[in-house]
Amino acid sequence: MNTTPFTELGLPAPLLQAIEELGYERPSAIQAMAIPIALEGHDIIGLSQTGSGKTAAFVLPALAKIDPKLRKPQILILCPTRELAIQVCEDVHRLGSKMPKLQAVPVYGGAPIGRQFRALEDGAQLIVGTPGRLLDHLRRGSFDPSHVKMTILDEADRMLDMGFREEMEELLATLPDTRQTMFFSATMNRGVEGLIKRFGKNPQMLQIERKALTVESIEQRHYEVRERSKVEVLSRLLDLEDPRLAIVFCNTKKAVDECTEALLSRGYAADRLHGDVTQQMRERVLNRFREGKVEVLVATDVAARGIDIEEIDIVFNYDVPQDPEDYVHRIGRTGRAGRSGRAITFVFGRDLYRLQNIERTIRQKITRHRVPSQEEVEDRRADALYDSVRDRLEAGSFVGHETHIERLLDQGHTATDITGALFTLLREATTTKGQSIAEDNAQNPSTGGGTGNRFDRADSQPHRPDRNQERSSSYTGEMTKLFVNLGKTHGINAKDLVGMFYREGEVPDGSLGHIKLFPRHTIVEVPEECVEKTLRALGKSKLRGKPFRVHRDKQA
Ligand code: AMP
């Protein structure tokens, strides 16, 4: 792990401010190596993959070299594709956000050339573009290369693979001889070597050494999760996996702060560790984590260094780490002392390259899993509630409330009703509401909105329907199962349902079939011929004062 702070790389203040604002805690390995050498003016060959932080490794020194008063192209970055050119330009704007006079433009084929002319005429100082379109501008005279002091070839190997050799050579040949060149490439081959030989000046080769790393005893999974859904998915997994202690790793201090706040507001015992946390506070947090008072520790790699706690059940990679080595360090914190550890990584979009890079390094697959649905989580919570109530009953630790119970019974409430109401109260007091996320639709298309394997789970549980919940129909035609999203924990009983289906659901007397009550839902059998009418009739009904959903059971 690299330990040099950003402040020691020789970068000017506006860039350090932007880095601080982005929440980057320390340079990645390639950044720590490349930035000081580039600032000294040397040519560089950086052998580095996407995801290693290579973009900032060349953008930061490039920005440091810009003369803000000169309204001419001074930095030229060549990229193989339009997508990459846009991404790199976005990074330029992010890292250059504290340079008020900075003008940077992306220039690529397929976009209207007129707008690009104007941007170039307006005094762009940094241009990111694909070779073909840049050459076009050069030939038309809209790109003046005479003030270029640095050029960067991003993914040089890919540009050659895509057949840009001639365009690249023509472009490079027109740039001033005094310019500095940085070649970034994932691989080294004859083509890249040829370019370096012809256009480089004594370049320094930078390569991150890869050690053989293994993490065999740990169960490793990944989930595809958008940035804005991360907190929700993390909460669902914490509820389902129920770890005693978990660490959540983020790549930035900002992400650590945001994630901790979100977990705290959802009621988790979470705390944070990052570079801005004082030594005294750090000790306190770690002690509370060790004692189990903090269950979820959110941290950056630097802050988590040296934590030696054995009982960590799960490591979450809230962000995919920059470096495969960091991945191994992070997840090595679980599965210690012969325990079975779990490592869960959130991945989206560009992160996939980083994940593949990690898989190559550890020579293991990190399998993709489906994001659990809200209903699976709720079922799990209902089960946990059921288990703790049963444990209490079995342990006999429920004495002292007789008078209240008797008063309720005297008022005409049945034992089932009272228990149901208490379950509901408990549920409301112990859980925060989850939220629907895009992943629910994207990943669970076949389960009809995430009903999951509800039936298998319910049937394997000890919630056997009691006699009161089963009714046989005198009707002999085809029956259809309807799903009602209220169940035992909502204080619902079979009598309520029967009454409602006959009274408001317009089901003919005596034709209702079986009713099965589950903790979170109920299945009611009605004659197929009146399903549509019943669904319409119940559209706005309430059950025990609660609105509910009813639809055909998708598991049927
Ligand atoms: P790249 O390899 O350049 O595609 O970068 C991958 C991702 O890492 C980008 O989303 C950057 O914003 C992020 N990144 C780059 N440098 C750092 C850093 N030092 N700390 C945290 N994140 C970083």
Tell how far the Cα of 22 is from the centroid of ligand 1, in angstroms.
10
Looking at residue 389, its pLDDT comes to 84
Query: Mutate which of 28, 95, 97, 184 to test ligand 1's pocket (most atoms within 8 Å of Cβ)?
Result: 28
202 and 118 belong to one structural domain: yes
191 vs 169: CA distance, rounded Å:
12
Position 262 in a domain: yes
Domain count, the chain: 3
493 and 543 belong to one structural domain: yes
Mean pLDDT in each 10-residue stretch from start to end of the chain (556 residues)? 86 97 91 96 89 90 96 96 92 96 92 86 94 93 95 94 92 96 91 95 84 68 95 94 93 95 91 90 91 94 79 93 88 72 92 90 90 87 80 76 84 84 76 76 44 29 34 68 87 82 84 84 90 90 85 80
> Which CATH number is 152's domain given?
3.40.50.300
Concatenate the DSSP letters of all residues of 139-185 into one string. Answer: HHT-S-GGG--EEEETTHHHHHHTT-HHHHHHHHHHS-TT-EEEEEE
Of 210, 296, 212, 293, whose CA–CA distance to 261 is shortest?
296
44 and 113 belong to one structural domain: yes
Tell how far the Cα of 51 is from the centroid of ligand 1, in angstroms.
6
108 and 252 belong to one structural domain: no
Of 304, 310, 311, whose CA–CA distance to 327 is shortest?
304
Q: Is 53 in the pocket of ligand 1 (CB under 6 A)?
A: yes
Position 351 in a domain: yes
182 and 39 belong to one structural domain: yes
Tell how far the Cα of 246 is from the centroid of ligand 1, in angstroms.
25
Q: Is 27 in the pocket of ligand 1 (CB under 6 A)?
A: yes
Tell how far the Cα of 26 is from the centroid of ligand 1, in angstroms.
10
32 and 71 belong to one structural domain: yes
In angstroms, how far apart are the furthest CA atoms of the chain? 97
Position 401 in a domain: no
Tell how far the Cα of 191 is from the centroid of ligand 1, in angstroms.
28
241 and 96 belong to one structural domain: no
17 and 142 belong to one structural domain: yes
187 and 265 belong to one structural domain: no
Final residue in a domain of this structure, among 309, 338, 368: 368
Position 150 in a domain: yes
CB 133 within 8 A of CB 108: yes
Q: Is 274 in the pocket of ligand 1 (CB under 6 A)?
A: no
Position 307 in a domain: yes
Q: Which domain holds residue 516?
A: 473-552
* Shortest-distance atom of ligand 1 to CA 6: 19
Q: Is 55 in the pocket of ligand 1 (CB under 6 A)?
A: yes
Final residue in a domain of this structure, among 325, 345, 368: 368
Q: Is 251 in the pocket of ligand 1 (CB under 6 A)?
A: yes
Q: Is 125 in the pocket of ligand 1 (CB under 6 A)?
A: no
Q: Is 54 in the pocket of ligand 1 (CB under 6 A)?
A: yes
15 and 152 belong to one structural domain: yes
Position 380 in a domain: no
Final residue in a domain of this structure, among 207, 235, 256: 207
* Shortest-distance atom of ligand 1 to CA 54: 3
- pTM, to two decimals: 0.58
197 and 295 belong to one structural domain: no
> Which CATH number is 491's domain given?
3.30.70.330
* Shortest-distance atom of ligand 1 to CA 28: 19
29: phi then psi, degrees, rounded to nearest 5: -55, -45
Position 84 in a domain: yes
Quick one: DSSP state of residue 244? Answer: S
312 vs 3: CA distance, rounded Å:
25
Going by alpha carbons, the residue nearest to atom 20 of ligand 1 is: 24
Tell how far the Cα of 28 is from the centroid of ligand 1, in angstroms.
8
Position 212 in a domain: no
* Shortest-distance atom of ligand 1 to CA 26: 19
Query: Mutate which of 250, 251, 300 to test ligand 1's pocket (most atoms within 8 Å of Cβ)?
Result: 251
Going by alpha carbons, the residue nearest to atom 6 of ligand 1 is: 51
Q: Is 252 in the pocket of ligand 1 (CB under 6 A)?
A: yes
196 and 231 belong to one structural domain: no
CB 64 within 8 A of CB 11: yes
* Shortest-distance atom of ligand 1 to CA 252: 21
Distance from chain centroid for Cα 507: 47
Looking at residue 322, its pLDDT comes to 84
Q: Is 28 in the pocket of ligand 1 (CB under 6 A)?
A: yes
Tell how far the Cα of 280 is from the centroid of ligand 1, in angstroms.
30
Going by alpha carbons, the residue nearest to atom 8 of ligand 1 is: 53
* Shortest-distance atom of ligand 1 to CA 251: 21
